[in-house]
Homo-oligomer: A and B are copies of this chain.
Amino acid sequence: MELESTISLEVFFVSDRTGITAEALGRSLLTQFNKDDCRYTMLPYIDTEEKLSTVIQKIHAAKSDNRQVIVFSTLASKEHRQRLINEDFFVLDLFATCLPPLQSAMHRHSSPAIGQTHGMGDQNQYLARMDAVNFTLNVDDGLRTKDYEHADLILAGVSRSGKTPTCLYLAMQFGIRAANYPLVEEDLDKGQLPEVLKPWKEKLYGLVIDPDSLQKIRQSRMPDSRYASIEQCRKEIRQADTLYRQEKIPVVESSSMSVEELATTLMQKAGLQRQY
């Protein structure tokens, strides 16, 4: 929670749908400025005159002498975006800015339908995506290894290296059936690939993490245990690294990457595209 007085930029994301695209756009652009005193507010489902009026009032109320307002919007209704743009604050509307050049390129006019980026789309595509999430949950953490046959990729790594969030993101965002296998001490001490992974080497990837990050994560989970000791973390990581190298398993580095970056890097390595 920021102190009211330290906020110098109020950023609003206004959309007639979820606002996820407006937010991604706005945050991406703002990374180009060194501003860390922003407050972000999402205002989704602004699809009537009345809701727009309320939003406009709210934005005006946030303005003050030493506080600037920036609005990122995705409003498919031409009337709504015109109304917002005419207000006395800065608005960058995705459709107003980007549709005209795209229209020229496409040699046709856009229809004023409400954007459906994050809408249901095709019901079967939606079910396929939810199936990927269920698949990933069902084979999480080394469960049901007989289902590896149906996985698009398998991610191996030591405990708490970030396998589950990465696999869930792959399933949720891209519809990828991502299994994960925890390399436990028993596997690592054998110094060879666990039997259940051997048939699937061509879709197997290894997660690498630095010992200090791993120690921090394990420590918050099981404070002062052998499991969370820096010696144990170093040993497991060294053994895992040796195994990956020996078996020529491609690796991704989880300590320096976000879950989005891990997921897209894995897709790139595996030559996978969005499945829905």
A260–B115 Cα gap in the complex (Å)?
13
A164–B129 Cα gap in the complex (Å)?
13
**A27 interface residue (CB < 8 Å to B):** yes
Q: What is the oligomeric copy number?
A: 2
A118–B25 Cα gap in the complex (Å)?
11
User: CB-nearest residue of chain B relative to A70?
Assistant: B105
Flag if A41 contacts B117 (CB, 8 Å).
no
| CB under 8 Å from chain B, chain A span 236-261 | 256-261
**A54 interface residue (CB < 8 Å to B):** no
A101–B85 Cα gap in the complex (Å)?
13
Flag if B24 contacts A258 (CB, 8 Å).
no
Flag if B118 contacts A261 (CB, 8 Å).
yes
Tell me how many residues of A have a C-beta within 8 Å of chain B.
77
A217 CB to closest chain B CB (Å) equals 7
The stretch that binds B, out of A56-64, A106-114, A199-207, is A106-114
Of B98, B120, B169, the contact of A172 (CB 8 Å cutoff): B169
- Residue of A115, A117, A133 most packed against chain B (CB within 10 A): A117
Ordered nearest first, which 10 A-B pairs have the shortest CB separation? A118-B260, A32-B110, A90-B105, A28-B117, A18-B264, A21-B24, A21-B28, A44-B264, A133-B165, A24-B24
